Amino acid sequence: MLLPVVGLLVTASLSSGRPVPVSWASAPLAAPPASVVRRPATSRAGARVATPLPQVDPLWVRRTAAATGIPAPAVLAYGRATLVLAGSDPGCRLGWTTLAGIGAVESAHGTVGGRTLGPDGRSSSPVLGPALDGRGYAAVPATRASARWHGDPRWDHAVGPLQFISSTWRRWASDGDGDGAADPNDLDDAALAAGRYLCAGGQDLTTDRGWTAAVLSYNHADAYVSAVGAAARSFG
């Protein structure tokens, strides 16, 4: 279960209806397969880490950022996560535009509210969703473990640029940049975790049915699927 900060606020300005697949056609360019960085199989916290870690073509990152207006660290995070999943789950066929569409809807790639996204994939201030206190949202009490991410001892919050709640993060926590830590506030980590989540249903995301089912699993609302599809198509 993931909840958007800005997702349903922007749907009125985006096209309606079920989106067509947008995932695979705009897959990122990468350096030759042998150009990898060897990393440990697990991080200090036991989170899944990409090993070996693909190297995304920096020229592709710069050109894509310039063409789309997506911050370059976000382009890198989405592209690298896509390449990791292409190796670990090739049948999913996830493309970077799907992750970028989700990032746009959830938090404007970590820049919502005037924030900036740093080279390390972290926003200038944490992206924190509203308290899940039952008023307009499901009531989700905080735990000691979840409070470490948002500081609220009573109610849980969605955290980070891709808006993970703690129970989902515990299952899908990933180390997307090989720094030995898994943090939902780091877009590198969140992008890989989101990609794994989207691919978990065993769908082929180049099909309309598979893509829609995957994005619905991320947030079960037709308006959300349409918003993500519109954003992803604009990037592709």
Q: Give tens-digit pLDDT for 106-151.
A: 999 999 999 999 999 999 999 999 888 888 888 888 888 888 888 8
Report helix, strand or coil for 22. Answer: coil
Its domain, for residue 226, covers: 7-31+38-112+131-235
> Which of these, 198, 193, 196, lies nearest to 218 by C-alpha position?
198
Does residue 139 lie in a domain region?
A: yes
Between residues 149 and 103, the one the model is more confident about: 103
| C-alpha span between 138 and 131 (Å, rounded) | 10
pLDDT at 38: 37
Query: What's the confidence (pLDDT) of residue 37?
Result: 39
Cα separation, 88 vs 92, whole angstroms: 9
pLDDT reported for residue 23: 53
Q: Tell me if 103 is assigned to some domain.
A: yes
Residue 155 makes CB contacts below 8 A (sequence gap 6+) with: 131, 132, 133, 139, 140, 141, 142
pLDDT value of position 151: 85
CA distance 126 to 115: 9
**Phi, psi of 113, rounded to the nearest 5 degrees:** 70, 25
Q: What angle do CA 100, 223, 196 make, to 5 degrees?
A: 40
Dist. CA 211–CA 189, nearest whole Å: 22
pLDDT exceeds 60 at position 31: no
Minimum mean pLDDT range among 7-21, 99-113, 212-226 = 7-21
In a domain, 176, yes or no: yes
CA distance 120 to 126: 13
CB atoms within 10 A of CB 118: 14
Under 8 Å between Cβ of 103 and 78: yes
Q: In this structure, is residue 162 part of a structural domain? A: yes
Rama region for 162: left / alpha / beta (φ>0; ψ in -120 to 50; rest):
alpha
Q: What percent of the chain has pLDDT over 70?
A: 78
Model confidence at 40: pLDDT above 70: no
DSSP E strand boundaries for the chain: 36-37, 48-49, 53-54, 174-175
pLDDT > 90: percent of the chain: 60
| Mean pLDDT value across residues 5-11 | 34
Between 98 and 158, where is the model more confident?
Answer: 98
* 126 in a structural domain: no
pLDDT (mean) for 170-194: 95
Q: How many domains does the chain fold into?
A: 1
Choose between 196 and 7: higher pLDDT.
196
Residue 69 located in a structural domain? yes
User: Domain for residue 119, yes or no?
Assistant: no
pLDDT of residue 17: 40
